[in-house]
């Protein structure tokens, strides 16, 4: 199962992104396909926070635009939403240790741990920080 990280979702939503078209096409193919694909819940939260933030985008997406976009993705019958499993702390602790994670990269480790727990085959991301998590295969679908 392929999971999609926040950056790819943001690019697929923001028409002013230079990556808008390829990101939109990648997410569209997943959403319209029959194979299961996934979004971690924390990426949904982060997507909404980023696209509606006035210090990141001028103008930012409205609350309605961000919600409508999420509703469209959540309507995909093949979408699986990923959350923390019972073993989350054990998985996260190991990724923090092996990846030598501190500071804001902890959020990436959380996403990686959720993907590992749910046996995600590949995380689609434009964030190179995920390369430190050897238990999770990553791909930048935009290049």
Mean per-residue pLDDT for 106-121? Answer: 97
Tokens standing for 57? 């985008």
Domain boundaries along the sequence of the chain: 2-139
Mean per-residue pLDDT for 74-83? Answer: 98
Per residue in 9-31, pLDDT (tens digit) is 999 999 999 999 999 999 999 99
- Predicted pLDDT at 112: 97
Q: DSSP code of 130? A: G
Per residue in 29-73, pLDDT (tens digit) is 999 999 999 999 999 999 999 999 999 999 999 999 999 999 999
Q: DSSP code of 37? A: E
Question: Rounded to an integer, what distance in angstroms lies between the CA atom of residue 129 and that of residue 27?
Answer: 21
- Predicted pLDDT at 62: 98
Q: Which CATH superfamily is domain 2-139 in?
A: 5'-nuclease (3.40.50.1010)
């Amino acid at each position: 199962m392929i999971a999609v990280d926040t950056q790819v979702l943001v690019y697929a939503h923001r028409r002013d992104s230079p990556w808008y078209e390829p990101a939109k096409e990648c997410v569209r193919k997943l959403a319209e396909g029959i194979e299961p694909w996934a979004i971690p819940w924390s990426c949904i939260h982060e997507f909404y926070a980023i696209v509606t933030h006035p210090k990141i985008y001028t103008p930012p997406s409205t609350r309605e635009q961000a919600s409508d976009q999420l509703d469209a993705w959540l309507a995909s019958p093949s979408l699986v939403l990923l959350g923390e499993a019972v073993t989350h702390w054990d998985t996260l602790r190991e990724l923090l240790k092996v990846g030598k994670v501190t500071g804001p990269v902890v959020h990436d480790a959380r996403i990686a741990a959720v993907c590992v727990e749910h046996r995600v085959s590949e995380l689609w991301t434009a964030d190179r920080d995920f390369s430190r998590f050897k238990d999770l295969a990553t791909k930048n679908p935009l290049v």
